[in-house]
Chains A and B, each alone.
Chain A
Amino acid sequence: MHPIQRIRELWQFREVIKNLVAQELKVKYRRSILGFFWSLLNPLLQLVVISLVFSLIFRMQNFSLYVLSGVVPWSFFASSIDGCSMSLVSSEAMLRRQYFPKAVFPISFVLQNLVTFAMSLIVLLTILGPIANLRLTPALLFLPVSFACIVAVTLGLGALAALVTAHFRDMRHLISVLLSAWFYLTPIIYPLETPDGQGMIPHEYRWYFKLNPMFAVIELFHRPIYHGVLPTNAELLTAGAVSIVFLVGGLLVFWRSEDRLIFAL
C-alpha cells in the first residue's frame, strides 16, 4: 500500500486511536486521584538525586533547572519507546480477530504518554520554577515546537521498536540497555559546555556529542527553559531534520513489513 493510503487508512481508524489513548490514561490514573502525582514522583526524585550529586561536580548555576529541562523530555522519549516495544505483542489477540492498521498501537501509546509528559513538565516547572530560578521569558512559547520534534522522533523510533520486538521478543531488554547508554551519552545530567565555555567534555570531543541526534532535540528544551533564549537557527534546522528523518524513516520501515507482521506474532 502507498504511504498516502496508509495515512488515509489511519485517519479512518482514528476512533481506535482515540479509544486506546483515553483508555490507557484511564487505566493509568484510575487507582487514585494520586495516580498523576505518583507519575510525577519518579522524575521528581530522579531530579533531586541527580541535582544533589552532580551539582557538586559541575558547579553550574541553576543546575537543577538544567537537569529538569533535559530529564523530563528524555523520560518521555525513553518510556514511550519502551511502551511501544511491547504494544504490538500485547495486542496480538485483537490483531487476530479483525483487520486494522497496526500503527495505531505505537501512535496511541506515544500520544497518551505525551499527555503525561506535558502535564508533568508544566507542573514541575510551576512547583520548581521559583526554587530553581526559572526565568519567564517569551522563549518558553517556543516549547510547542520542541514537543512536536520530540514526538516525531519518538514515534518513528517507537514504531521501529514495536516492529523489532514483534520479531524478537527479547529485544525489549536490549532496547532498554541501549536507551540507558544513550541517556548517558546525551548531555542531560552534565553540560556539554558551561556558559563560560568550560565543561567536563574536552573541546576536541564535543563534536562527537553533537552527532547524537537526541542532542539536537534535547537542546530545544534546554534553550528556552534553562537559558531563556530561542534555539539558534542551526539548532532548529538540525532538530527539524532529525525529526523528519526519524518519523518518515520509522514509519516507512514499519509500513513495509506491517502486512506480514501477523505471521510473526
Chain B
Amino acid sequence: MAPSFIRLDDVWLRFRLYSTQHRSIKETVVNFILRRQYGAPTRDITALRGITLAIDDGQRLGIVGDNGAGKSSMLKVISRIYPPTSGRVTRSGFLVPLLEIGIGFNGELSGLENIYLTGAIMGFSRREMRRRVDPILDFAELREFADTPIKYYSSGMQQRLAFSVATEIDPEILLLDEVFSVGDIHWMEKARDRMRRLMDRARILVLVSHQMDLIEQYCNRAIWMRAGEIAADGAPGDVIRAYRDSAAAVAPVAARTD
C-alpha cells in the first residue's frame, strides 16, 4: 500500500462571517436601494495565514492553541470541507474526519437507513456496508431501534449512532476534533476504548485538543497554532511547554480579524 501523506503548501483561508444567521434577498435589495449597510454587518475572517505543513506516514500530529486560532479550520481544509482561498492541499490515503458530531441525519429515516446513507457518503456501497451494520448497531446499543425514524431518538441515541458509524470504518488518515466528544459515563468508557484502537490503526492521526495530556500521550509531533499561523512545531513536550509559557505570560489572543 502506498504511504499516506498530507501536504499543505502556503494555504490561506478567508471567509465571511454573517452576524445574522441567514441573508435574505429582501434585506439585500432594500439595503442596496437605500444605500445603507446595516442589519447584517459582516466580518471577514482570515483563519489560516500561509500554512505550509507536511505530515508523513506514521505521524501522530497534535494541534494546540487558543480558541479561534485556526485549529478546526485546519482540519476542515485538510478534509476538503473548506476550500483554501489560495495555496494547495494534497493528500493520499482514505480519510475519515470526525469533526462535528452534529446530527447529520435525516430525521424521517430509520437508524438503519441512516447508516447506509452515512456509509455512502464515506464512499461505501450498500453491499460493503451490509456486513458493518450489525457491529454498528451492537456497539451503539440501538438494535431494537434500528427501524425507528431518527426523529424519535434522544440526542444521546443520535450521538451514539453517529459515533458508532463513523468509527466502524478504518481510515488511513484520521482527523479528530475535540468537539467530537461523547455522552454518559458508561458510554464514554466504551467510546474512549474504541477511539483509542481507531487511532492506533490509522497511519496518520491529526488530533485537535485542549487536553495536553491527551496530546502528550498519543502524539509524536505537535504544532501550536496562533492567529492562523504555526507558532511552534516539534516534539509534543516542547510545543506544549512553549504554549503554556505564552499563556502564562499574556492573556489569550482572540482570532485576528481584518
**Shortest beta-carbon distance, B112 to chain A, in Å?**
11
Q: Which residue of B lies closest to A27 (CB)?
A: B108
B188 on interface, CB distance cutoff 8 Å? no
Interface string of B21-50 (1 = CB under 8 A from A): 011111010000000000000000000000
Separation of A260 and B13 alpha carbons in the complex (Å): 11
Question: Do the beta carbons of A93 and B81 come within 8 Å of each other?
Answer: no
A44 on interface, CB distance cutoff 8 Å? no
Which residues does chain A contribute within 8 Å of B23, judged by CB atoms? 167-169
Q: How many A-B residue pairs have CB under 8 A?
A: 80
Among A12, A20, A259, A263, chain B packs the most CB atoms within 10 A around the CB of: A263
Separation of A80 and B186 alpha carbons in the complex (Å): 46
Please tell me which stretch of B116-124, B132-140, B201-209, B214-222 contacts chain A, meaning at least 4 of its Cβ atoms lie within 8 angstroms of it.
Answer: B116-124
B113 on interface, CB distance cutoff 8 Å? yes
Q: Known contacts being A167-B23, A170-B25, is A16 close to B106, with CB within 8 Å?
A: no
Question: Do the beta carbons of B24 and A99 come within 8 Å of each other?
Answer: no
Question: Do the beta carbons of A93 and B120 come within 8 Å of each other?
Answer: no
**Shortest beta-carbon distance, A260 to chain B, in Å?**
6
Question: Do the beta carbons of B109 and A97 come within 8 Å of each other?
Answer: no
B183 on interface, CB distance cutoff 8 Å? no
Question: Do the beta carbons of A98 and B82 come within 8 Å of each other?
Answer: no
Question: Do the beta carbons of B80 and A94 come within 8 Å of each other?
Answer: no
Q: Which of A23, A93, A99, A168 contacts B113 (CB 8 A)?
A: A23
Question: Do the beta carbons of A97 and B120 come within 8 Å of each other?
Answer: no
Q: Known contacts being A27-B108, A170-B25, A260-B83, is A15 close to B120, with CB within 8 Å?
A: yes
Question: Do the beta carbons of A19 and B120 come within 8 Å of each other?
Answer: yes
Question: Do the beta carbons of A168 and B25 come within 8 Å of each other?
Answer: yes
Q: Which of B24, B104, B108, B113 contacts A96 (CB 8 A)?
A: B104
Question: Do the beta carbons of A15 and B125 come within 8 Å of each other?
Answer: yes
Question: Do the beta carbons of A20 and B117 come within 8 Å of each other?
Answer: yes
Question: Do the beta carbons of A23 and B109 come within 8 Å of each other?
Answer: yes
Interface of A is mostly: helix
B15 on interface, CB distance cutoff 8 Å? yes
Question: Do the beta carbons of A174 and B120 come within 8 Å of each other?
Answer: no
Question: Do the beta carbons of B123 and A12 come within 8 Å of each other?
Answer: yes
A18 on interface, CB distance cutoff 8 Å? yes
Separation of A63 and B55 alpha carbons in the complex (Å): 70
Could you tell me which residues of chain B, from 84 to 121, have a CB within 8 Å of some CB in chain A? Answer: 97, 99-100, 102-106, 108-109, 113, 116-117, 120-121
Q: Which of A20, A93, A174 contacts B25 (CB 8 A)?
A: A174
Interface string of A226-265 (1 = CB under 8 A from B): 0000000000000000000000000000000001101100
Question: Do the beta carbons of B120 and A262 come within 8 Å of each other?
Answer: no
Which residues does chain A contribute within 8 Å of B126, judged by CB atoms? 15, 18-19
Complex A-B, nearest 8 residue pairs according to Cβ-Cβ distance, in ascending order: A99-B80, A15-B120, A259-B83, A168-B25, A93-B104, A170-B24, A94-B104, A263-B15
15 pairs, A vs B, C-beta closer than 8 Å: A13-B123, A18-B126, A19-B116, A19-B117, A23-B106, A93-B104, A96-B81, A96-B102, A97-B102, A99-B79, A99-B80, A167-B23, A169-B22, A169-B24, A262-B81
